[in-house]
Amino acid sequence: MRGAKHPLHVFAGVSLTLRAGEMLALVGPSGSGKSTLLRCLAGLEPVTEGHVVLLETNLARASRSTLAAMLREEVGLLLINPPLVPSLTALQNVELPGRLAGRSAWSNREVSLRTLDELGARDWARKLPEQLTPPQAAKISLARLIAQHPKIVFADEPTGRLSTSDSKLVLRSLKKLSDGGAAIVLATHDLHLASQADRVITIVDGALGATLERPSAEEVLAALDQTAYGSDE
Amino acid sequence: MSPLALRELLSNLRLWLAAGPLLALTAALTTITFSMRSLNQALAEDEVGLMDQYDATLLALVLLAGLAATTVSVYQVAQRTRRRVANLAIAGLTPSGASTRFSHQVMGVAAVAAAVGICVGWATAPVAMRFIAWASSGHAGLEGRTDAHAILGSFVITLGLALIGATQGASQARSVEPIEALKDRPFQPRKGSRRRLWLAGAGGAGAALTAVLTAVLPGLESLRYRPLEAANITATCAGTTTALLAIFFWAAAPAYCPLLIRAWTVFLPRHRLPALSLGRSGAAFQARRSLEAFNLILVGALLAGSTLSIYFARSALDTAGRGWVAARDVSGVVLAGVPVLVVLTGSVLTVVVTARSRVDEARVLRLSGATGRQVLLAGFTEAFILAVTATLVAMIGVAIVGLTTGIGLAQVATAPDWPATLGFDPVAWMAPLGVMVAGMALVTAVALPTLARGLRQPLF
């Protein structure tokens, strides 16, 4: 990774390919590097060696404006701390990627309001982020993601601070986006959420472990134990 | 002061950055203003009374500017150090302990700043005197006199200003709850309570200032200079009106500022350019940041315009027959810049202190897909909107002051044909516009590099 005075080697030998409509979960203990890997894949952290090709764009060669265009039109982010602009209302935050992309104000608002309605968040449309509780802010962030219609979604602990019912809503929404053709990459501790993915990869100390196809939560846990601690028996 | 408290004082960089230079500047300007009283020694005896009063009015304006800038700065520092106080509160610090600790910190900064300011004033007062003497050509004998009264007065005034700021800041520190240390984002005071706090603070400051201006100064001066009593009182009333207007507009800003911004910016083509829309939202909805910049620019524009308005009313009086000296004209212009200097310094410091929120905002906008150009344009738009709005309000204030001054002077004038619009001079009207441009340039000059720094930083 660049940015520090000395390059920091977090990952080595990582090779991943993601298909359209696929939901991939990265599962690992705290500090294993799954969030960092997610950011590298999303183009938010530069890599020192190797390359990340996102939607046919080599991120190492992409300009800042290209990355910005990808973030507002093709790449969606769902983070544990929702990145909402503090001076914009909830509705304006949902509209933001569309506004920046130059979509028509009228259709952008219609889509945004409809999305807020679907998520039961219409009542907070005129509130500022500082007036929202963390679960409400997470819903607004989810609404923005849905209204954006991204081709690929990077979600870092998307259910980290949510109640069970809100977690179900997030999962349902991600499934819907995936069914619509969007690729989803999740970094999560939540084994139940991970078990809903098409593919699960365990990650420990910056190294990728087992790859599982549509596993159960128990299988994910067993694979994680195996990756982290090996077979002690 | 305990070693822990001393270490805390020295490490509170925000406080030193925000309050220190402002208080030092106020102290320096107060010393210079006091020293200018020596100007009177070189003038004719029958003019001294009016000029003392004129100095007193201008001094009051300087103090008002210092009061506004310092109070806003200390208050915002208190709000931004809530997390630090919360960390102490969770370790057992009581609310009164937090309040006392913050007050002591502010007063410590003020004492150091006053000492620095007085030294600066002592050094620069003779230079100001020589400039006035040179510009007025004919008073080469003028010398700056920085006597014990000037030093003592500057010290007391600076500490007094700091105390007012510290009282407001300490109430913030007192309201911190230990739970805030555990929250991602500290609790914010509700809008209503913030407004009440502003109104109470500004009302108290206004009442105190009005009492000083209307009771003490004209009383003393009119006892000494009977022939000019009416003009003295009129001049003081004009100064008081200016002060009250500034305080009124300042105190009521939380109520009308967002509404006013939303009203006139409807005409911006924001649907075409998203950055304009972002800048407008920043100005209208980043309430705390906007109000700080708005108030500082407003008070600067209002004071500069009003001071010049009074000055031109006096010039009209001069033209109509009463003798004035060139030195008075020059010193009037010099002093008119004083409030502007204090307030613009405050504006820059305010923006510097809010740098963190701007860097965060730039990061969030980039995560949403905004380009660097859009982020910078949004920052510029915000500065432009705030400066224009503050100037619009200030020009209304200048018009009122010009009117009251003109009417007042016309009433006391011996010649019945003096116009009632003595204070309406184009230059006085231009002053707020000049402050607007300067304020916008300064806010932009500080905000844009901050945003640019935010653009260069990693997104996580």
Contacts A155 to B, Cβ<8 Å:
none
Which residue in B364, B371, B458 is closest to A84 by CB distance?
B364
Radius of gyration over every alpha carbon of chain B, rounded to an integer in angstroms: 23
pLDDT value, residue B63? 66
What average pLDDT does the segment B314-321 reach?
58
Which residue in A65, A85, A128 is closest to B364 by CB distance?
A85
Closest chain B residue to the Cα of A2, Cα to Cα: B458
Q: Do A72 and B368 touch (CB under 8 A)?
A: yes
Q: Do B368 and A73 touch (CB under 8 A)?
A: no
Beta carbons of B98 and B174 less than 8 angstroms apart: yes
What average pLDDT does the segment B38-46 reach?
49
Residue B106 or residue B411, greater confidence? B106
Residue B328 or residue A230, greater confidence? A230
Radius of gyration over every alpha carbon of chain A, rounded to an integer in angstroms: 18
- Distance, in Å, from the CA atom of B341 to the CA atom of B15, rounded to the nearest integer, reads 20
DSSP one-letter string for A178-191: HHTT-EEEEEES-H
Burial group, residue B141, by CB count within 10 angstroms (0-12, 13-18, 19+): exposed
pLDDT at B205 over 90: no
pLDDT at B398 over 80: no
How far from chain centre, in Å, is Cα B310? 19
Angle ∠(B80,B85,B86) on CA atoms, nearest 5? 105
The pTM for the full model equals 0.66
Counted across chains A and B, CB pairs separated by less than 8 A come out at 77
Give the start-to-end residue ranges of the domains of chain B: 3-456
Closest chain B residue to the Cα of A74, Cα to Cα: B369
Contacts B357 to A, Cβ<8 Å:
86
The upper half-sphere exposure of residue B224, i.e. CA atoms within 13 Å in the direction of its Cβ, equals 15
Beta carbons of B336 and B314 less than 8 angstroms apart: no
B425 at A interface, C-beta within 8 A = no
What average pLDDT does the segment B388-412 reach?
68
Model confidence band, residue B220 (pLDDT cutoffs 50, 70, 90): very low
Q: Do B365 and A85 touch (CB under 8 A)?
A: yes
Contacts B286 to A, Cβ<8 Å:
86-87
Q: Do A99 and B274 touch (CB under 8 A)?
A: yes
What average pLDDT does the segment B402-426 reach?
54
pLDDT at B224 over 70: no
pLDDT value, residue A232? 47
pLDDT at B140 over 60: no
Contacts B459 to A, Cβ<8 Å:
39, 44-45
Which residue in A81, A83, A105 is closest to B368 by CB distance?
A83
Distance from CA of B287 to the nearest CA of A (A): 8
pLDDT value, residue B204? 61
pLDDT value, residue B247? 65
pLDDT value, residue B91? 72
pLDDT at B234 over 70: no
Task: Give the A window 174-203 contacts with B, CB below 8 Å.
Answer: none
pLDDT value, residue B106? 83
pLDDT digits (tens, 9 = 90+) for B65-120: 666 667 767 776 777 677 777 777 777 777 778 888 888 888 888 888 888 888 87
Residues recorded for chain A: 233
CA distances from B77 to A21, B107, B114 (A): 49, 14, 19
B45 at A interface, C-beta within 8 A = no
What angle do helix axes B274-285 and B229-264 make, rounded to 10 degrees?
A: 130
Sign of CA dihedral B195, B197, B200, B203: negative
Burial profile A195-206: b = 16 or more Cβ within 10 angstroms, e = fewer? bbbebbbbbbeb
pLDDT value, residue B354? 63
User: Residue B396: which residues within 8 A CB-CB, separation 6 or more?
Assistant: none
Residue B446 or residue B226, greater confidence? B446
pLDDT at B419 over 70: no
A19 at B interface, C-beta within 8 A = no
Percent composition of chain B: helix, strand, coil (DSSP 3-state, to 5): 85, 0, 15
For residue A152, list its beta bridge partners.
A75, A183
Mean pLDDT of chain A: 84
Which domains are assigned to chain A? 1-74+151-233 (3.40.50.300), 86-149 (no CATH)
CA distances from A113 to A102, A124, A126, A147, B368 (A): 18, 11, 11, 9, 18
B182 at A interface, C-beta within 8 A = no
Q: Do A71 and B369 touch (CB under 8 A)?
A: yes
- Distance, in Å, from the CA atom of B245 to the CA atom of B404, rounded to the nearest integer, reads 12
pLDDT at B331 over 70: no
B192 at A interface, C-beta within 8 A = no
pLDDT at B188 over 60: no
Q: Do B369 and A70 touch (CB under 8 A)?
A: yes
* DSSP at A203: E
pLDDT at B136 over 60: no
Contacts B278 to A, Cβ<8 Å:
85, 87-88
pLDDT at A126 over 80: yes
A3 at B interface, C-beta within 8 A = yes
Complex confidence, ipTM? 0.78
Residue from B61, B39, B64, B10 nearest B335 by CA: B61
Among A51-55, B32-36, B83-87, the range of highest mean pLDDT: A51-55
A156 at B interface, C-beta within 8 A = no
Angle ∠(B327,B328,B331) on CA atoms, nearest 5? 85
pLDDT at B451 over 90: no
pLDDT at B448 over 60: yes
Task: State both tokens at A219.
Answer: 């299988």
Which residue in B368, B458, B460 is closest to A71 by CB distance?
B368
B104 at A interface, C-beta within 8 A = no
pLDDT value, residue B326? 46
Model confidence band, residue B275 (pLDDT cutoffs 50, 70, 90): confident
pLDDT at B211 over 60: no
B278 at A interface, C-beta within 8 A = yes
- Distance, in Å, from the CA atom of B22 to the CA atom of B373, rounded to the nearest integer, reads 33
pLDDT digits (tens, 9 = 90+) for A157-196: 888 878 888 888 889 999 999 999 999 999 988 888 888 8
Strands A75-78 and A199-204: unpaired
pLDDT at A215 over 70: yes
- Distance, in Å, from the CA atom of A195 to the CA atom of B302, rounded to the nearest integer, reads 65
pLDDT value, residue B228? 46
For residue A11, list its beta bridge partners.
none
Residue A123: how many other CB atoms lie within 10 Å: 10
Closest chain A residue to the Cα of B364, Cα to Cα: A83
Residue A109: how many other CB atoms lie within 10 Å: 18
B430 at A interface, C-beta within 8 A = no
What average pLDDT does the segment B373-395 reach?
80
Which residue in B274, B357, B459 is closest to A44 by CB distance?
B459
Distance from CA of B24 to the nearest CA of A (A): 34
Residue B334 or residue B450, greater confidence? B450
B369 at A interface, C-beta within 8 A = yes
Task: State both tokens at B149.
Answer: 């009264």
Which residue in A3, A71, A128 is closest to B367 by CB distance?
A71
Sign of CA dihedral B186, B192, B193, B194: positive
Q: Do B364 and A71 touch (CB under 8 A)?
A: no
Phi, psi of A155 (to 5 degrees): -120, 120
B269 at A interface, C-beta within 8 A = no
Beta carbons of B308 and B401 less than 8 angstroms apart: no
User: Residue A164: which residues within 8 A CB-CB, separation 6 or more?
Assistant: none
Helices and strands (DSSP H and E) totals, chain B: 16, 0
Q: Do B282 and A70 touch (CB under 8 A)?
A: no
Burial profile A14-34: b = 16 or more Cβ within 10 angstroms, e = fewer? beeeeeeebbbbbbbeeebbb
- Distance, in Å, from the CA atom of A224 to the CA atom of A211, rounded to the nearest integer, reads 10
A125 at B interface, C-beta within 8 A = no
Q: Do B184 and A101 touch (CB under 8 A)?
A: no
B189 at A interface, C-beta within 8 A = no
Sign of CA dihedral B24, B29, B32, B34: negative
Distance from CA of A69 to the nearest CA of B (A): 6
Which of A87, A89, A108 is the best substitution to test chain B (most B C-beta atoms within 10 A)? A87
A157 at B interface, C-beta within 8 A = no
Greatest alpha-carbon pair distance for chain B in Å reads 72
Using a pLDDT cut of 90, give the percent of chain B over it: 0
CA distances from B57 to B33, B131, B209, B426 (A): 11, 22, 11, 22
pLDDT value, residue B218? 47
